[in-house]
Structure 1
Amino acid sequence: MQRFRCRDTDGKDVELDLSKGMVGQAMPIEKAVIIRDGAVTRELDYPHRSGQVLQIFFTSESASVIAFLMSPVVYASNLNQLYMLDRGDERYFAKVFDDFPVARLYRVKGSIRDDPEPADTAAHSASPAGSS
């Protein structure tokens, strides 16, 4: 599946061309991520430097396909990486429940006390506010 048509939020038809990395005729994408039944199955990188990322969700339970076009900031967000892409860094997160697309639940490993305090905030937290 390299090309398919979908509707945007305004109900307009839009063509997604995965062979060229284009949404419609004028919007190049930098990356496409294909997710099937909650698992990333394919990632496509394009030479475009638009920064836009397209995530396409397929499910075996439904004939419909959902696609999200997002900025690099949204793509890198914890919500997207943990919930949508199931990419919890195992050094920091342990998945305890997975019923995608309903919910995914992670436990944060360790505690805040395990991490050394950043040097730039150490001086500010040494004394209460207003004291000398």
Structure 2
Amino acid sequence: MTATQALIERYYAAFNRGDWQGMLDCLGDEVAHDINQGGREIGREVFAGFLERMQRSYRERLEDIVVMVSADGIRAAAEYVVHGQYLADDEGLPPARGQRYVLPGGAFFDIAGERIVRVTNYYNLNDWIAQVEA
């Protein structure tokens, strides 16, 4: 197992435990976070704020995680299935009523100095909206 693969697996294990500090420990200080169908945020402290917003509105667990790493270990990708529950309204999205959802997702990573310095998340927002509006 490469160091990069172990890093990404540690990041997602922390996510599944709800261990936000464990996730933050995997990130570089100036991590670039590309939010699904949104903007880019810079910095570990800003990422911590994102995690707080996520914790308020969602309960999620990632399953069937597959991590892929480039030969040089500086780039990685992960594919997974999100099993979640929408707990509280999130700005610009439908009202939350405890709806459950399941959808595929993925992420792309840049690695430097044994830390994640970019994470770009993707899932199909229209699929998610259709599930929570059903």
Q: Normalising to structure 1: TM-score of the pair? A: 0.30
Larger Rg: 1
- The structure carrying a bigger helix percent of its residues is 2
Q: Normalising to structure 2: TM-score of the pair? A: 0.30
